[in-house]
Amino acid sequence: MCTGLARHEGADFATLNSELQIRMDELAQAQEEAEENNMEFDELDDEVKIFDELDPNEVMLNGDMFFFVSSGAQDLNSREACTVEAAAQLHPGRHIFVLFITPNITNIIQSHTLSVLLSYNNVIFRYIKVSKYLRQNIYLEQWFIESGFQESDQMPDHLTNALTYAMLNKFGGTALSFDVLLLRSISWMGDILPRCQDDLIESTPLTLKSKHPLALDAMEQMVHFHDSTNPKATGSYLLTQRLKKKCSVEFITELLFKECGAKSDAKVLTSEVLCPVEEDKHWRIFDPARTKLVLQNLKEHKSHGLKLWREYTDSYPSWGSAGKPTAFSSLAQDACPLINLRVGSINQF
């Protein structure tokens, strides 16, 4: 069984394509053998099992990373998969859990994205029973039962926020986002509170130790901050307002220099670390005419990631067009080489 592709820096696309095809052939063969033996694919031994309900025992306390597919989707698109591959490449010693909320997902072997991500031995696909994790706290359970979030158009965002607090409280680690393409490792930073604006804490990527006071407080406050029309209400607004109140500050920037028990030893980041392109300039990331400008900006700030501003850019072609690379597609060559290769091979520009 292939153990996975750990790093790809400097590798040529022909080699990557060959390794990827070998990995996919091995997985397809394992599935065929299981079917011949009248076995379900998810009942194979641990070496072959690629999708199952999350077992808490497989999570490393304070050490793993989580993506949440909270929309009920059964697959990942190419841009989402790129963010997962980037995280896997940069953090080979950490599990990258991609957590679905449904046990019925696309056939992983046939998926253009999920099958590629299996090439990394630290990428793990699992599903979770939402109620199991949201009922660990009586206040979060109250939000889960009474808020009616399921009927809101903003359901995926609210659910992602709730799962972020619940999973970090239980396991610790890092809650990642399909909206941020990581460019450098963030493991060395410890607990982090990201910012894209001077006076607003972002809800992801968020790194906190298990039982961190901020995660505990956020779970308790979900029911009070819920606004079915505003996806940020239970995310960045909640975190920002609670930190201001509990730390007795008027502006979040004050926490760059002030210690506070509510944030414990979590580090408040400057906006350039993960959000070097401002919200009102989001279009530059996918505009071929602005590629050099964006890349130069990233280099000057030594940014560790790039917020993609999905709420505005989801409809933009991620890879631009042939011969006209965008900043995103240029970064994808190194950040997610296998997904980048697959996108090119099926002409998903």
Largest Cα–Cα separation, the chain: 65
pLDDT (tens digit per residue) in 113-172:
999 999 999 999 999 999 999 998 999 999 999 999 999 999 999 999 999 999 999 999
Please state, as a whole number, how many other Cβ atoms lie within 10 Å of the Cβ of residue 109. 17
pLDDT (tens digit per residue) in 80-89:
999 999 999 9
Residue 243 contacts residue 255 (beta carbons within 8 Å):
yes
Nearest CA-CA partner of 107 in 24, 177, 21? 24
The answer to whether residue 47 scores a pLDDT higher than 70 is: no
User: Rounded to an integer, what distance in angstroms lies between the CA atom of residue 109 and that of residue 113?
Assistant: 9
pLDDT of residue 321: 74
pLDDT (tens digit per residue) in 49-68:
689 999 999 999 999 999 99
Q: Which backbone phi and psi does 200 adopt, to 5 degrees?
A: -145, 125
Residue ranges per structural domain of the chain: 9-48, 50-272
Nearest CA-CA partner of 103 in 134, 138, 129? 129
Both tokens of residue 173? Answer: 């680690």
C-alpha dihedral sign at 182, 183, 186, 191: negative
Q: Domain 50-272: give its CATH architecture.
A: Alpha-Beta Complex (3.90)
Which residue blocks in the chain are alpha helix, DSSP H? 13-36, 78-90, 114-117, 130-134, 138-146, 155-171, 213-225, 236-247, 291-301, 310-313, 327-335, 337-345
The answer to whether residue 193 scores a pLDDT higher than 60 is: yes
pLDDT of residue 191: 96
pLDDT (tens digit per residue) in 223-273:
999 999 998 999 999 999 999 999 999 999 999 888 888 888 899 999 999
pTM value is 0.86
Greater pLDDT, 48 or 15: 15
pLDDT (tens digit per residue) in 134-144:
998 999 999 99
